[in-house]
Structures are given as C-alpha cells and as structure tokens.
Amino acid sequence: MPSLFGSQQGDSADWLAVAVHADRIDVARMELSPTGRPAVRVCESSPKKGSDVETLARLRKSLKPRGVRCASLLLAGQYQMQLVEAPTVPADEVKQAVRWKLKDLLDYPVDAATVDVIPVPSDATGVGRAQYVYAVSARNENIGAHMRLFHAARFPLEAIDVPEMAQRNIARLFEEPNRGVAMLVVDEHGGMLTFTSGGRLYLSRHTDINLAQLTAPSAELREQARERLVLELQRSIDHFDRQFGFITLSRLLLAPLPPHYDLQPYLAEHLYLPVQAIDLVDAIDFPGAPELRDPQLQTARLHILGAALRSD
C-alpha cells in the first residue's frame, strides 16, 4: 500500500515539489545549504495542455529532475487530517491502531484508506496530558491514481505531502528559539492557521473566510468577514494555550498580502499576540524566481515552496 509521506532518506537533500491543480501544475525546487539560506532554483505554474500525463511529462523533460528528490503536494479535498488521541501501542503498531480509530470518522470504509501519522509533541514531563497524533488519510483509489499519474509521466515520485506540513516548513524559518509561532495563510479558497514550535506542527485549523470576503465591495461585508476571522483566531489561540501551555507563542505570522488588504494592522489591533506580515525575502533567496519578490505571488506559491523545503 502506498505511503502518504514516503521515505525521508535519499542521496540528495534537495526537493522538487509538484502540485497538480485542475487547470495547472505548480512546481518548485529548493536548494538547501547546511549553513546558508534556502534558495529557490525553480518556481513556476504551467497551464495544462493536453492530459495531466502529457503536461507532467513535458515538465519532467524541461526540469530534468534526475538526482533530485520529488514530492507531490495534495490539495484540499484530496485528503483528511484529524487529531486523535495516540494509541498506547508499540511504535510499529501505531498506524494500524490509528486506522482503527478512524473507522467512525471517515465517510468511507477505513479499509479503503491510506493512512499515515504525524506525531504531536508533548512537554518534557507528559504528566497528566493525553498524547495526540494527526491522522492523515486519503482514499486508496485516489492515492493509487496519483502515483500512476507520476509513473506514466516517468516522474520519480518519492513522497506525497499535505499543505499543513508545507506551511509548517515555511513557519519554522521565522521561529525564535524555544518559542512557538502561529501562521495564517489566506487565499481565494479560505484560510489555514498552523501552530508550530521547534519545527514541529502542534495544531492546524481551517476557516472558510477567503480573500474575496476580506475585500468585498461592501464595507459592511468586509467588516463582518474581519470580525469573524478575528473571532476564529482568538478561539484557536485560546485553544492552543489550553492544550499546549508549555509553549509560549511569540507572534502570529501573516502570509504576504498586498498593502491594500490592510489586514495586518486590523489583526494587530484586535489580537493580544503581535502580528507580523512576513516577506519570504527575509528567509529565502530567489535566484531562480526573482518575480517572487511580489508579495501577492508569494502567497499564491507559499505551499508549493513549503513542500520543496522538506528536510526531516
């Protein structure tokens, strides 16, 4: 059975990430250095011409990914990610035990699911605290079709990833030692909020509030969307503080947005956490994609860039 996250071992430390959308295929390649900043060698979006296999095969020929490790990024709706209490079983039995826990949480038979597990770290003592894991699941038929697509295009797929982990990879570039950060990414589909510390994902939340709602022609509708967003952020931050009180959050990172959105000052006024609108230029070099200095394009490419930052 295929694994969602795949092997983390290989000869190369560099990753080429691929996301297959309905109308395009996004790719990004990072070059990692043990002492320097990550550098983007490729980041582009190719409209589909012909079938998915034909488009992917053309990309393989132009990118020449030989010697680079390749990961595919799943899209919203292609998988489910659920926080469940960690089963008390030996490490090699965790996946099977988590699969059993999912049998009442999925809307299809659990035997038809590919399941992988992301451990959620606990404090050093663990006394009196339940241990949790994120269970990531997808239909076997969808994962199989995904892998067959890459095989048909002769694309050497090594791993399949999810946006929550890609966002984690970006957030950890902005972390402070021994502190946690929340990170909010809002795009045309909605918002993703993650909480990370020490490069580990602790909590992920989603909202249906999107960029269109935040820039609605009506001032009243814009204000309603912002008020809803603040309320959801406050509730999520309070929940994180209750569940992970051993982590001190330093700030909320807001993915890059053009100035006219004016979201950072609004959130800063209504949240007790400092709110920082990040610029990826502060953490990543873009020798192969200088156009990514545009904040709006950074947000559009943020998850594919994060998927190319796989390192552990």
Clarify whether residues 108 and 151 are in a common domain.
no
Clarify whether residues 181 and 234 are in a common domain.
yes
Q: What CATH number is attached to the domain comprising 245?
A: 3.30.420.40
Q: What is the per-residue pLDDT for 278? A: 95
Range of 243's domain? 174-278
Clarify whether residues 103 and 242 are in a common domain.
no
Strands 69-73 and 157-161: parallel
Q: Which helix (H) or strand (E) holds 105?
A: none
Q: What is the per-residue pLDDT for 121? A: 86
Mark 130-153 as b/e (b = at least 16 C-beta within 10 Å).
eebbbbbbbbbebbeebeebbeeb
Contact yes or no for 241/118 (Cβ under 8 A): no
Q: What is the mean pLDDT of the chain?
A: 90
* Average pLDDT, integer, range 36-53: 93
Q: Which two tokens stand for residue 297?
A: 């394009």
Clarify whether residues 224 and 203 are in a common domain.
yes
Residue 252 inside a domain? The answer is: yes
Residue 61 inside a domain? The answer is: yes
Clarify whether residues 22 and 102 are in a common domain.
no
Q: Which two tokens stand for residue 264?
A: 């950072």
Clarify whether residues 85 and 71 are in a common domain.
no
Clarify whether residues 64 and 32 are in a common domain.
yes
* Average pLDDT, integer, range 92-97: 91
Residue 304 inside a domain? The answer is: no
Q: What is the per-residue pLDDT for 35? A: 65
- State the total domains in the chain: 3
Clarify whether residues 192 and 272 are in a common domain.
yes
Per-residue pLDDT of 244-275, as tens digits, reads: 999 999 999 999 887 778 899 999 999 999 99
Per-residue pLDDT of 110-168, as tens digits, reads: 999 999 999 998 875 554 456 889 999 999 999 999 999 999 999 989 999 999 999 99
* Average pLDDT, integer, range 192-206: 96
Reported as a pLDDT band with limits 50, 70 and 90, residue 8 is: very low
Q: What is the per-residue pLDDT for 113? A: 95
What is the longest distance spanned by two Cα atoms in the chain?
Answer: 57
Q: Which two tokens stand for residue 67?
A: 């010697």
Percent of the chain's residues with pLDDT above 70: 92
Residue 2 inside a domain? The answer is: no
Q: What is the per-residue pLDDT for 262? A: 87
Taking the C-alpha atoms of residue 103 and residue 99, their distance in angstroms, rounded to an integer, is 7
What SS3 state is found at 177? Answer: coil
Residue 298 inside a domain? The answer is: no
Residue 291 inside a domain? The answer is: no
Residue scoring higher pLDDT (97 or 7): 97
